[in-house]
Amino acid sequence: MNSVSPSAVQYVGVVMQDEQVASRRPPSLERQGSFGFRVPQASDASRDAAREPDEMDKVKAKLMSAWNNVKYGWTIKTKTSFNKISPVTILGHSYLLNNEDEVERFRRDFVSRIWLTYRREFPPLEGSTWTTDCGWGCMLRSGQMLLAQGLVVHLMPRDWTWPDAQQLTDVDFEVFRPRSPVRAGGVPIPSFGSLRGSSSPEKIPAGSQAPRCCQRKRPQSARDRQAEPIHSKLITWFGDQPPAPFGVHQLVEIGKSSGKKAGDWYGPSIVAHILRKAVAKTSVAQSLAVYVAQDCTVYKEDVVHLCDLSLSQSPAGPSDQAWKSVIILVPVRLGGEALNPSYIECVKNILKLDCCIGIIGGKPKHSLYFIGFQDEQLLYLDPHFCQPVVDVAQADFSLESFHCSSPKKMPFSRMDPSCTIGFYAKNKKDFESLCAAVSMALSSSKEKYPIFTFVEGLGQDYGLEGDSSNHSGPSAHILPPDTLSRSDNRRSSEEFVFL
């Protein structure tokens, strides 16, 4: 398994949850309401037998939790290779790793992304015995990372990076010169010394400490340090405690309205609607709204009605403050059983946009959060690593396990076609720019039909019951697994199981 671990974590041993299976009640006396007791009758035996599968389910859940804690609680650390002559793109930022400064800038950018993984030993999820999401919650974690990135660009200074990124000190990736210089198109390959005195100029590890020249060139560090309280507060919203507005407890509870429960697998489109409801439900993000596209279509007027506060009965102050920022989530399917290669260039162009906040999807049976690419490989954050729960209610809790220093890549060809793409617009002007930029990126597809479209008007104008901001069920194009759709490209993303 190709999982990701934080640099501070080495080997996590076998972790077995020390829980006892709840025993059944003695049959002698049972409480009747709140007033007394009654003697059990013959029909009670059948009811006890009917409860037996529940007890078995509890045992199964505990055994699966223990096994998954072992399976995802350790990893073999491997280094990912990046070449010097092709740019690496991370959500609108490009880095050409042909000098020490660029290597360090790339590393700081990647490490600053919020990384949310499996956790164990958190309070039981309501109505279940689950105290871990190991083995089933990876798509929820990927969705959390997508939302976290949206909140970072919403609340933090532009191009913010985590000031403590240097504390993740492992040598976790390497930069090399491709064997075939033909790929460089005749561009000379610069040579430079290694970051920590390495004798090989061909491989340049991103070391634990930046070169002095890099440390001198950080005029934004004081600003980034001032933003740290917001950074910490943002992570508490994803804590694994019932009150956390975007924690697993809340997301699982919201998912019940879509027929999901703890221990089920979630698809990228269902998670998009869960995130929308979570943001609408909480008071910590009142200036932010989430719109989920319907049937691969973004209806512009629906977004305007969701974000333009001047259209409500009580306008919110000056005109420049009368528009909510918006995260736009677009569930799509990029092919039939496998990714259609014609869409690869389009996905690359989307990831190059400043307004893009990532893609949740993965490879078959393995959810991932995609944030960039180099050449024909996607760059991602992997939630498949089980870490102990962190009590984010404590002052000065450690942030290290929420940041990853191990970039991982995989070929585009292994990408599951079912995914959800995320965008962010701070105001109305940004939304208009987003529509134009994304439409141009979508036109790069070699396919006759784009991945999704922007159209004028309201969803109801096109025969939809209501816009995605207020209907309670999944989006219109999601069909039950046993329902045939019009084409392979429109099949439900819920047909695929993500482990």
| Rounded Cα distance, 106 and 193, in Å | 17
Q: Which helix (H) or strand (E) holds 422?
A: strand 418-425
Three-state DSSP state, 169:
coil
**Tokens (6 digits) for 186:** 């005749």
* Angstrom distance (rounded) from CA 452 to CA 445: 11
Strand partners, 80: 173
Encoded amino acid at 385, one letter: F
Q: Which of 109, 133, 138, 346 is catalytic?
A: 138
Q: Amino acid identity of 495?
A: E
Q: Which structure tokens are listed for 213?
A: 């020249």
Q: Count of alpha carbons within 13 Å of 155, Cβ hemisphere only?
A: 21
Give CA separation, 282 vs 24, 57, 177, 256, 274, in Å: 38, 32, 49, 17, 12
Nearest to 403, CA basis, from 110, 80, 12, 190: 110
For residue 420, what are its two tokens? 């959800």
Among residues 249, 273, 366, 384, the one annotated as catalytic is 384
Distances, alpha carbon 294 to alpha carbons 278, 330, 442, 454, 468, in Å: 18, 8, 17, 11, 7
Q: In whole angstroms, how far apart are CA 153 and each of 7, 112, 150, 288? A: 25, 12, 5, 11
Contact between residue 390 and residue 381 where contact means Cβ atoms under 8 Å apart = no
The gap from C-alpha 313 to its chain's centroid, in whole angstroms, comes to 35
What string of DSSP letters covers 367-408?
Answer: EEEEEEEETTEEEEE-----EE---TTSTT---GGGB----E
Q: Which of 172, 240, 382, 416 is catalytic?
A: 382
CB 498 within 8 A of CB 362: yes
The distance between the two most distant Cα atoms of the chain, rounded to a whole number of Å, is 90
- Catalytic residue check, 384: yes
Which residues fall within 8 angstroms of residue 385, CB to CB, at 6 or more apart? 3, 4, 5, 6, 9, 72, 73, 75, 117, 118
Nearest to 455, CA basis, from 304, 342, 268: 304
The 3-state DSSP class for residue 294 equals strand
Cβ atoms of 125 and 79 within 8 Å: the answer is: no
Six-digit token pair at 216?
Answer: 């001198």
C-alpha span between 224 and 215 (Å, rounded): 14
Active site residue 138: yes
Specify whether 404 is catalytic. no
Q: Are 332 and 296 in contact (CB under 8 A)?
A: yes
Q: Which residues are catalytic?
A: 138, 382, 384
